[in-house]
Amino acid sequence: MNQLPSHLTGGHFLLGETDPNLVFTPEDLSTEEQQITETAERFMDREVFPRLDALEHQEPGLAVKLFKQTGELGLFALEVPEEYGGLGLGKIVATGVAAQLSRLSGFGVTCGAHSGIGTMPTSYFGTELQKQKYLPKLATGELMAAYCLSETGSGSDALGMKTKATLSPDGTHYVLNGTKMWITNAGWADLFTVFAKVDGENVTAFLVERNFPGVSFGKEEHKLGIKTSSTRRVVLDIVCVPVENVLGGVGNGAYIAFNILNFGRFSLGAGAVGGAADMIRTATKYALERQQFGKPLASFGLIQQKLGEMSARTFAAESAIYRTAAMIDAVMANGEQLDLTDPPFPRGMEEFAIECSIIKVSCSEALYSVADEALQIHGGYGFTEEFTPARATRDARINRIFEGTNEINRLFIPGTLLRRVQRGRFAFPAAAEASAKVSVRIANETNPLQAVANLLREAKQLALLMTAAAASKFGKSVSDQQEILAAISDIIIEIYMVESALLRTLKAIGRGHTAGVMTDLTMSLMNGSVARIAQRATTVAVAMASGEEKDSYLKLVRSMLPWNPVNEVEINRRIAMRLCELGSFSLLAGSESPVVR
């Protein structure tokens, strides 16, 4: 096992600048990886979307039939190890597939819950016998999987569960009693990863089969969106689960639950990118076709502004997704295991927990914004079910609740940083101390991308300083300062997303591409981001201090965020015009040829 480079350490992006050549971008996808994504795209276009109405009304058996077809194409086998019937590929490939399947969010939820949080507990925490028994059938879609953590009284407080597991007197099985709530795939799944407390205390994961006596289900939830998916309660009434179906060892359920959620959050973000790209394509097509005042909507400035901003947010999301996917794959390939469960699990599941939460929050909010703007571009038609933005907007709303609410994830990001500092895993105190001594140079940088890099460098120092100051001021009670932590989290999120876009753009330029559109997308992002960073930093400063100390903080915020605003109007017009020429977001970033030398 080799020592990993520093950029493959979770949260490292806050401590320095990353070499663009170390970052994976969509432009780096191999022909084989692109072909797998194209397989998923063709399947969605030919088999799924033509049956949209029937799926929305849950025509009996249709979703399961399409699910099994997806499995026959090998799209559930991507991350399953080869020795258990899978393809042994990683997050990079899975990202493109998730984006395509999630173009119809409900179907994407069905597939994602199966291949992600449904299958991965067995894949990463299962014993050899468990893997041999279940993984081959999960990889082909012969079995559908589900994940049972939430309960009526424990959503965000997942470990407050009431479901109990009691060992039988003869020691051969556990008896499970309780009810799980909001379980995706519950109406159709064959295998459930169920979390329960052994003896009312030790959170433990169990593999529960659908046909075990005592397993029953509530009715389908009447949901706002994702109507093509199944969501029900799972009722466990004296369910006898063999001891060999304990997953990861008794009392180790929390490690399983939260590390699986890390990957679940990442996959959610990947799916959100696909949904956003699809809505940009839909909105662009409508804006070109719809005439108002004798001109197409796409010719009007405010429509161009929307298309530009929608594209910029999606560009950042896509850039961050592939950047993170490659880092996860690299750490997983290193083979390091964390001996916290039985058997141990890969370090790669835990290392980028911060980045996965960033992606979950930012991508889910980007998708909702893009869907809402697509609806707005459609005007009155957008509010009808005749056009797709109505469904897309309804479907997008759940993502801010799934896999831990965005509020919980916002608290998790700085909280995890502080825990890693305490454990000596993050060079936080030294970085924060140095940031307080920074003498900021407010220069009129003529290179726009260098201006972004300079701003991000100072924003990182500011984020570290404010996190350290909050920890120092509030001590052990810092976790109670939710508004402050959320504001710091927003700063960190902005940094990671804009930097991901910047690094992708710089890498393209380094390879000899003009990257004019990428530069415009990055500048549009930064122009809005710096204002949000300043606002959130001001919130923290005012909440933590008063009098001269507050004034000192505010002066520091102003001095550390030098920025000469760019002409957003012109930038968004250029982005929109290029988008309208191409008709598709997926063609936008890679549309420029190499520079002729």
> Of 85, 110, 144, which residue is a domain's last?
144
Asked if 304 contacts 572 with a C-beta cutoff of 8 angstroms, the reply is yes
Burial pattern 455-474, b for ≥16 Cβ within 10 A else e, equals bbbbbbbbbbbbbbbbbeee
- How confident is the model over 516-534, as a mean pLDDT? 97
Residues 51 and 134 in one domain: yes
CA distance readout (Å), 392 to 236, 340, 373, 496 = 34, 40, 11, 26
* Residue 245 counted as domain residue: yes
Distance (Å, whole) CA 384 – CA 226: 17
pLDDT for the residue numbered 444? 63
pLDDT for the residue numbered 281? 97
pLDDT for the residue numbered 594? 62
Percentage of residues in the chain having pLDDT higher than 90 = 89
Residues 527 and 474 in one domain: yes
> Of 125, 144, 163, which residue is a domain's last?
144
* Residue 584 counted as domain residue: no
Q: Which residues are catalytic?
A: 403
> Of 251, 273, 294, which residue is a domain's last?
251
Residue 164 maps to which CATH number? 2.40.110.10
Between 383 and 5, the higher pLDDT residue: 383
pLDDT for the residue numbered 428? 64
Distance (Å, whole) CA 268 – CA 300: 33
Residue 89 maps to which CATH number? 1.10.540.10
Residue 231 pairs in a beta bridge with 184
Does position 541 have pLDDT exceeding 50, yes or no?
A: yes
Does position 437 have pLDDT exceeding 90, yes or no?
A: no
Q: How many domains does the chain have?
A: 4
When the pLDDT of each residue in the chain is averaged and rounded to a whole number, the result is: 94
Residues 58 and 192 in one domain: no
DSSP-derived letter for residue 294 is T
User: What pLDDT digit, counting tens, does each position of 63-111 carry?
Assistant: 999 999 999 999 999 999 999 999 999 999 999 999 999 999 999 999 9
Residues 382 and 263 in one domain: yes
**Cis bond before residue 5 (omega within 30° of 0):** no
Does position 595 have pLDDT exceeding 70, yes or no?
A: no
Lowest mean per-residue pLDDT among 96-100, 142-146, 292-296, 586-590 = 586-590
* Residue 590 counted as domain residue: no
* Residue 416 counted as domain residue: no
DSSP-derived letter for residue 206 is E
User: What pLDDT digit, counting tens, does each position of 297-317 carry?
Assistant: 999 999 999 999 999 999 999
Helix 353-377 with 253-289: angle, nearest 10 deg = 30
Distance (Å, whole) CA 236 – CA 215: 5
C-alpha 504: how far from its chain's center?
18
566, burial (CB in 10 Å: exposed 0-12, middle 13-18, buried 19+): middle
DSSP-derived letter for residue 17 is P
Kindly write down the DSSP assignment for every residue of 219-274, as one continuous string: PPP--SS-TTS-EEEEEEEEEEEEGGGEES-TT-HHHHHHHHHHHHHHHHHHHHHH
At CA 251, angle to CA 246 and CA 256, rounded to 5?
Answer: 70
Residues 81 and 198 in one domain: no
- What are 359's two structure tokens? 């992606």
- What are 164's two structure tokens? 């109990």
- How confident is the model over 473-494, as a mean pLDDT? 97
Residues 560 and 434 in one domain: yes
Binned at pLDDT 50, 70 and 90, residue 432 comes out as very low
Binned at pLDDT 50, 70 and 90, residue 368 comes out as very high
Distance (Å, whole) CA 297 – CA 1: 57
pLDDT for the residue numbered 1? 47
Percentage of residues in the chain having pLDDT higher than 70 = 95
* Residue 596 counted as domain residue: no
Residues 121 and 151 in one domain: no
* Residue 129 counted as domain residue: yes
Residues 171 and 265 in one domain: no
Residue 523 maps to which CATH number? 1.20.140.10
Asked if 557 contacts 534 with a C-beta cutoff of 8 angstroms, the reply is yes
At CA 357, angle to CA 101 and CA 48, rounded to 5?
Answer: 10
pLDDT for the residue numbered 596? 41
* Residue 202 counted as domain residue: yes
CA distance readout (Å), 543 to 389, 461, 470, 495, 539 = 39, 19, 10, 22, 6
Distance (Å, whole) CA 463 – CA 534: 11
Contacts of 105 (CB under 8 A, 6+ apart): 225, 226, 228, 271, 275, 392, 395, 396, 398
| Residue pointed to by tokens 């929050």 | 361
Residues 210 and 348 in one domain: no
Residues 316 and 369 in one domain: yes
Residues 173 and 258 in one domain: no
Contacts of 548 (CB under 8 A, 6+ apart): none
**Full residue range of the structural domain in which residue 114 is found:** 6-144
Residues 339 and 214 in one domain: no
Q: Which amino acid is at 474?
A: F
User: What pLDDT digit, counting tens, does each position of 4-32 carry?
Assistant: 788 899 999 999 899 999 999 999 999 99
pLDDT for the residue numbered 419? 94
pLDDT for the residue numbered 445? 74
HEC sequence for 89-142: CCHHHHHHHHHHHCCCHHHHHHHHHHHHHHCHHHHHHCCHHHHHHHHHHHHHCC
Q: Which amino acid is at 17?
A: E
* Residue 547 counted as domain residue: yes
Does position 2 have pLDDT exceeding 90, yes or no?
A: no
